[in-house]
Structures are given as structure tokens and as C-alpha cells.
Amino acid sequence: MKAPANTDKPIKIADAQAGILATYGALPATGYVRLSDLRPIIPLSDSSIWRRVKAGTFPAPVKLSERVTAWKAEDIRTWLDEQGKEAA
């Protein structure tokens, strides 16, 4: 089966969703995100993220399989919200 062609049409996003996307970037509302997905959203190095996980100041990941570790998107959103409240 052939993938649909990219039509380069702009995606219309409701105003409420636009605000969410501005805050969270490409972070999904639910599900799991891997470290590579967090890099554009969280302005920390991989080492800093793991250091904060160990210190308990960043959400702990979930081991999905022997070689796959991911974070719950909801936990990351909660953490981001907390960071915003502390800065205010």
C-alpha cells in the first residue's frame, strides 16, 4: 500500500490546541515518549535528565522492554507545568 502524497496543506489547529502546542511542542497528550522525543522539548542534556531522574527531580522513566526506556507523556507534561509555576 502506498503512503498518501504530501499535499503541503496547512494543518488547522484550534486556538486552544495552539496554546498547548506552543507550551509542549510535539509532546503527545498521552502515551510514551523516548529520550530522543524529549530533546527538542526539554532544554537539558541527556546526562542532566538522567542526573535529575536519579535525584528525583525529573519523572522516572518506564522500562518497556530490555532495550526500550520511555517516559509517560502525562508525567512530562506535569513536570513542565510545575517548572512554569516555579518560574512565576
CB within 8 Å of 61: residues ≥ 6 apart: 53, 69, 70, 71
pLDDT-derived band of residue 40, with 50, 70 and 90 as boundaries?
A: confident
* Arithmetic mean of pLDDT, 45-51: 96
Cα–Cα distance for residue pair 58/74, rounded to 1 Å: 13
Of 11-15, 34-38, 78-82, which gets the smallest average pLDDT? 11-15
C-alpha cell of 65? 522492554
C-alpha cell of 9? 496543506
pLDDT > 80? residue 2? no
CA 81 and chain centroid, separation? 12
* Arithmetic mean of pLDDT, 23-41: 85
Classify 71 as helix, strand or coil: strand
Classify 19 as helix, strand or coil: helix
